[in-house]
Amino acid sequence: MNYNSINLVKTHLINYPCPLNINFLWNYGFLLGIIFFIQILTGVFLASRYSPEISYAYYSIQHILRELWSGWCFRYMHATGASLVFFLTYLHILRGLNYSYLYLPLSWISGLIIFALFIVTAFIGYVLPWGQMSYWGATVITNLLSGIPSLVIWLCGGYTVSDPTIKRFFVLHFILPFVALCIVFIHIFFLHLHGSTNPLGYDTALKIPFYPNLLSLDVKGFNNILILFLIQSIFGVIPLSHPDNAIVVNTYVTPLQIVPEWYFLPFYAMLKTIPSKNAGLVIVIASLQLLFLLAEQRNLTTIIQFKMVFILTGGVLMLLSDLHFNTLFFDPTFAGDPILYQHLFWFFGHPEVYILILPAFGVISHVISTNYCRSLFGNQSMILAMGCIAVLGSVVWVHHMYTTGLEVDTRAFFTSTTILISIPTGTKVFNWLCTYMSSNFGITHSSSLLCLLFICTFTFGGTTGVILGNGAIDIALHDTYYVIAHFHFVLSIGAIIALFTCVSFFQESFFGKTLRENTLIVLWSILFFIGVILTFLPMHFLGFNVMPRRIPDYPDALNGWNMICSIGSTMTLFGLLIFK
C-alpha cells in the first residue's frame, strides 16, 4: 500500500509530463489550490469559535477579532482568501477560454462545478457575520428564489431569513468546501488523464517532468501571491469590506444601497439590469450554463451556434417583456423599433443555415474521398473555405431586410459581403468536382450518385442566392416564390440529400446490415432528383412573375407552372416512400 502511494505521487507530481512551453499563466491552478487549502484551515478554526444563532452570531465574530489570540489574523486571512480564490478562479477560467482548455470537456466541466460551489459557499459565508449588509443581501437573494417556495423553505427554514437560516447556512458553509475539495481531486485526475494544454493549442511531443522544472515556476508564483496575501490580510481588508457589515443586524432599517462583494458584481449587474426578478434569475443561471455549454464548442458549427443563439435569446426575452411586462422595445407607438427585432432574429436566422449545411459539407467530402480512395483535391483550401463561410455567413444577415428602408451604402456593403460567400462555396464545389473527375466519372456506390446530386442542387441554389444577394434585384424578388426556390435548393434539399447520403454510406456501420440495396437507392435518387427539379425549378419563373409566398390564390396565367410544381412534389413524395 505504501509503495502504491509513493508510485502515485511519482506519477502525478514528479514524473507527470508537461509541455515544454508552459508559461506563468499555468500557475493559477496551483495557486488557487494553495489558497483554497488555506481557506479550509482558517475556516475550520473560525467554525470552532462561531455561534450560529442570530443572538450571538455577530458577537461571536467580534469575540474572535478582539479576544482570541491571533483571532483577527485568521478572520482577515479568511476574508482575504475569499477574494483571492475568486480572483485566481476568474484568471484560471480566462486562461482556459483563451488557450482552448475547454476542448477537454471533463476537466472543464469539473472545474466549473468547483466554481459553482465556490459561488454558493462564498455567498453563504458572506451571510454568517450577521451584519446589516449580510442580512439584507441574504434577504434579496432568497427573495429571488420565491418562485420556488419549497426551495426557500428548505434553505431558510421558513419564508424569511431567521434563526434556522443561519444554522443551515453554517452547516452548508462547513460541508461544501470539503465537497469542492473532493471535486478538485477529480478535476486533477481528469487533467492528468488528458494531459495539460499549452499556449500553442495543440499536442506536442516536447514534454518535461513536473519536478523540478514546473514546480520551481509554481514556487515563484506562490512566493508572489503569498506576499500579496499577507499585505492584503494585514492592511487591505477594510477597503474591501462594506462599513454596514460592521453594524449588528437591524431588520427594521434597510441600508441605503445593498452592494455585494466585488466578486459577485457581474451577477449583481445582471440582476439590477433586468426589471423582473424571475427573468434576472434566469439570466444569471443562463450565464453560468453558457460556460458549461462551451465544452461542446469544438467545431465551426457549434462556434456559430453558441455565438448567435444568444442574440436570438435576447430578442425573444425583449419580445416577451413587451408582451407581459409592458416594456416598449418594439412598439413604434412609444418610440420602439420593430425593425430591431428583425435584426436580432436574422442575426441568428442566417447563420442557422450554415449550422445545418456545414455538417452536410463534411459528409459529402468524406464520402467522395473514401469512395474514390484519394484525398480531396485542394484539401487545405477546403478547410480555409469552411472557415471563410463561417465568418462571412455571420455578417450578412441584413440581406433578408433590404425592403426595410436601409440606406444605399448599407445595402451596397451587405450586397458585397453576400456575393463574397460565393468564393469559398465555389471553391468547395470546384474541389469536389475535380476529385470526382479524377475517377473518370465513375459511380462506385449509390452514395457517390447522391453526392453528385447534392453538388447539382447546391450549385443551383447558390447561384440563385448570388442573384438574391443583390440589393437592387431583391427589392423586386423579395418574399416571392423565387426566394422559396432558392432556400429549398440550397438548404432543405441539400440537407436531405446529405442525410440520405450518410444513411447510404454508413448503413452497415450504423445498423450492422444493409437496409436498402444499392440499386434501389439509385432508383430513388433519380426519381427524387427529377421530382425536386419539377417542384422548385418552376418556382423561379413564378417568382419572376412576382407571385408572393403565403398566397391563397393566384392568377390563371400562372396555373401551368403551379401544376408542374404539384406533379413534382407528388413524384418527390413517391420517391421518399420507395426509400422508406
Highest-scoring range by mean pLDDT, 285-294, 307-316, 387-396, 455-464: 455-464
- Quick check: 129 pLDDT over 70? yes
How do residues 527-580 score in pLDDT, each as one tens digit?
888 999 999 999 999 999 889 988 888 888 889 999 999 999 998 888 777 665
What's the confidence (pLDDT) of residue 14? 66
As given in the structure block, the three cell numbers for residue 55 are: 443572538
Mean pLDDT of 455-476: 91
As given in the structure block, the three cell numbers for residue 148 are: 420556488
Cα–Cα distances (Å) from 164 to 48, 86, 130, 167, 528, in that order, read: 19, 28, 13, 5, 69
Percent of the chain with pLDDT over 90: 24
What's the confidence (pLDDT) of residue 355? 81
As given in the structure block, the three cell numbers for residue 96 are: 482556459
Percent of the chain with pLDDT over 70: 87
What's the confidence (pLDDT) of residue 206? 65
Mean pLDDT (the chain) is 83
How do residues 278-316 score in pLDDT, each as one tens digit?
778 888 888 887 777 666 555 566 666 666 777 888 888
Domain with CATH 1.20.210.10 in the chain: 349-578
Cα distance between residue 139 and residue 160, in whole Å? 7
Cα–Cα distances (Å) from 104 to 97, 298, 319, 555, in that order, read: 11, 10, 37, 60
- Tell the CATH superfamily of the 349-578 domain: Cytochrome c oxidase-like, subunit I domain (1.20.210.10)
Q: Is 315 exposed, middle or buried (0-12, 13-18, 19+ CB in 10 A)?
A: buried
**CB under 8 Å to 200, separation ≥6 — which residues?**
21
Cα 227–chain centre separation: 37
Residues 66, 70, 76, 82: is their CA dihedral positive or negative?
Answer: negative
pTM metric for this prediction: 0.58
Cα distance between residue 400 and residue 187, in whole Å? 46
DSSP conformation class of 207: E
Which CATH number does the domain 25-136+163-200+221-260 belong to among 3.40.640.10, 3.90.1150.10, 3.30.70.1140, 1.20.810.10?
Answer: 1.20.810.10
How do residues 179-204 score in pLDDT, each as one tens digit?
999 999 888 888 877 666 666 555 66
As given in the structure block, the three cell numbers for residue 342 are: 428583425
Domain with CATH 1.20.810.10 in the chain: 25-136+163-200+221-260
Of 469, 466, 464, the residue nearest 484 (C-alpha) = 464
3-state secondary structure 316-375: HHHHHHHHHCCCCCCCHHHCCCHHHHHHHHHHHHHHHHHHHHHHHHHHHHHHHHHHCCCC
Angle, CA of 337, 355 and 107, to the nearest 5°: 105
Cα distance between residue 222 and residue 216, in whole Å? 10
Are 483 and 547 in contact by the 8 Å Cβ rule? The answer is no
